[in-house]
Amino acid sequence: GENVGLHLPTLSVQEGDNSIINCAYSNSASDYFIWYKQESGKGPQFIIDIRSNMDKRQGQRVTVLLNKTVKHLSLQIAATQPGDSAVYFCAEIGTNAGKSTFGDGTTLTVKP
């Protein structure tokens, strides 16, 4: 679709549908990437990570895709549930270990 690869600040999906959240990163030297979920009033919570020597990694209901050529990261959530409603951030960590940079978040709203 026309939104593939595009970062959206908000995303609204129907319960049971699949969600795709996109992120562009800036530093080609970054070698570790993390997706975090942040619910209202809480700190970010780790969802899934991927290292730069991989292009895909799967977890439980989530998949992260890494395209180093265009410096793009995506998070796919299968069978989205109301409990998935939150703000999602990608983070890139470079060779200067510990220095992580967060991307702009995407607010996911799941409609029952």
Partner 1 sequence: DTEVTQTPKHLVMGMTNKKSLKCEQHMGHRAMYWYKQKAKKPPELMFVYSYEKLSINESVPSRFSPECPNSSLLNLHLHALQPEDSALYLCASSQDFPGAQVSEQYFGPGTRLTVT
DSSP string, the chain: -TTTT---SEEEEETTS-EEEEEE---TT--EEEEEEE-TTS--EEEEEEETT-SEEE-SSEEEEEETTTTEEEEEESS--GGG-EEEEEEEE-SSTT-EEEPPPEEEEEE-
**Closer Cβ to partner 1, 13 or 87, answer by number:** 87
Dist CA 101 CA 6 (whole Å): 19
**Closer Cβ to partner 1, 97 or 112, answer by number:** 97
**Closer Cβ to partner 1, 15 or 104, answer by number:** 104
Shortest distance (Å) from residue 92 CB to partner 1: 11
**Closer Cβ to partner 1, 13 or 102, answer by number:** 102
Shortest distance (Å) from residue 38 CB to partner 1: 8
The binding site for partner 1 (CB under 8 A) comprises 31-32, 34, 36, 41-46, 49, 89, 93, 96-105
Shortest distance (Å) from residue 45 CB to partner 1: 7
Shortest distance (Å) from residue 56 CB to partner 1: 18
